[in-house]
Amino acid sequence: MNSTELPMVNIPLASKAHKLAGQFAAEQISADKSKQVYLNTLSVYAVSRYLQRLQVETDLSQGDSWNAGMRLFFDVADLVLPGIGKLECRWVMPGETACALPPDVPEDLIGYLVVQFPKSLAQAQLLGFYPAVAGINPPEQIKLEELKSRDFFIDQITKLEAARIRRRESVIRAKRINLTNANNPASGQPKVEENNLSQWLKGIAEEGWQTFEEVFSPPVLSTAYAMREDTTKDSSAIVVALTPITEQKVRVWIQLRSCGEKLLLPKDLQLMIIDQSGEIFEQKSMEQDGNCLKAGGFSAQRGERFTVKVILGDNSFTEDFFLDLYS
């Protein structure tokens, strides 16, 4: 691809950007270093503004480029994407066909975004992206004709962001229930409080919900006492697993599990998932001896609600869930 054919995005540079660049440049001891720091600062600021348009989180304060000591001694123009890595924000001037690169490469480098400034410095033009290559020394410069398109860059960031969400925010919660004394609707018991799954992703769960390990790794008890516990206390649990797909959507899995390896779930047990319109979305039944009944694997969007209902004979147990629009 010829450099003149690269699609460009114009990013306005407000007075705030120039004020910051001027402050950082004034700290330097030579005119050449001041110019380098000034343009590096504008580059990082412009890329951060561009990523904000894409709703990608950035943190200017965590980069070496926002550290006075690092600016003084090194050619730094990095931008931190929390939980993902760093971008090097490099610049060229009109007429240049290549972009010089610093010799040092961060371990978590995603790649290089290259911008071009007009002489007025009123805006930055995003030229393209050059991905980091693991295991080799970086080139001393990038030819502009070698840059990947911004669509390629967006695709890379989207994949990294999705991986970050899956890695950091997957949640599994469990709640013990007593299937032989469930909340029969005819008993007049109050309705179970709704569970806000958006809050679960932030580490906040309603009373009664515990981590998977807390429910299925109970304290070691004497044999006699453990037998009494199995017959008199809640011996089953409902398990809800959440894996964010995007900021607006999660994947949900539902399970019923016995809380002991030697305990089996009743054969006439039923598990239902009911959508917000009241329709049965999925229904599972125990067809053979076992200690787990699975349902789910569906996606839910912010603003949606669903109910999990467990039926055993005349008794039923229900839990309502929703994804808060505004969390």
For the stretch 275-318, pLDDT in tens is 999 999 889 888 766 788 888 778 888 899 999 999 988 888 89
CA atoms within 13 A on the CB side of 291: 10
One domain, residues 7 and 103: yes
Residue 244 placed within a domain: yes
pLDDT at position 167 over 70: no
One domain, residues 7 and 117: yes
pLDDT at position 4 over 60: no
- The model's pLDDT over 204-233, given as tens digits with 9 standing for 90+, comes to 888 899 988 888 875 433 333 333 344 334
Question: What order of strands is seen across the sheet that includes strand 249-258?
Answer: 210-211, 171-177, 236-244, 249-258, 292-301
Q: In the chain, how many domains are there?
A: 2
Residue 85: its H or E element: strand 85-92
pLDDT of residue 259: 82
pLDDT at position 34 over 90: yes
Residue 327 placed within a domain: no
pLDDT at position 320 over 90: yes
Express as a percent the part of the chain with pLDDT over 90.
Answer: 44
Closest CA to 178 of 29, 12, 36, 316: 316
pLDDT at position 194 over 90: no
One domain, residues 132 and 274: no
One domain, residues 12 and 124: yes
DSSP 302: T
pLDDT of residue 327: 56
Q: Say how far apart CA 206 and CA 200 lie, in whole Å.
A: 8
One domain, residues 161 and 302: no
One domain, residues 154 and 244: no
Which segments of 85-222 does DSSP mark as H helices, in order?
150-169, 197-200, 212-216
Lowest mean pLDDT among 18-22, 38-42, 144-148, 288-292: 288-292
Chain mean position to CA 138: 29
| 3-state secondary structure at position 136 | coil
Could you tell me if 138 and 183 are in contact, meaning their C-beta atoms sit under 8 angstroms apart?
no
Could you tell me if 37 and 22 are in contact, meaning their C-beta atoms sit under 8 angstroms apart?
no
Q: Say how far apart CA 263 and CA 318 lie, in whole Å.
A: 22
For residues 21-32, give the mean pLDDT: 95
One domain, residues 77 and 205: no
Q: 203 — alpha (psi -120 to 50), left (phi > 0) or beta? A: left
- CB burial of 316-327 (b: ≥16 within 10 Å; e: otherwise) equals bbbbbbbbeeee
pLDDT of residue 218: 52
The boundaries of the domain holding residue 129 are 3-166
Closest CA to 241 of 327, 170, 167, 306: 170
Residue 169's pLDDT band (cuts 50, 70, 90): low
Torsion of CA 193, 198, 200, 201, to 10 degrees: 170
pLDDT of residue 246: 72
Residue 224 placed within a domain: yes
What rounded mean pLDDT belongs to the chain? 82
Closest CA to 169 of 58, 293, 297, 82: 82
Lowest mean pLDDT among 34-48, 91-105, 177-191: 177-191
One domain, residues 202 and 57: no
Torsion of CA 250, 167, 60, 125, to 10 degrees: -70
Q: Say how far apart CA 99 and CA 114 lie, in whole Å.
A: 8
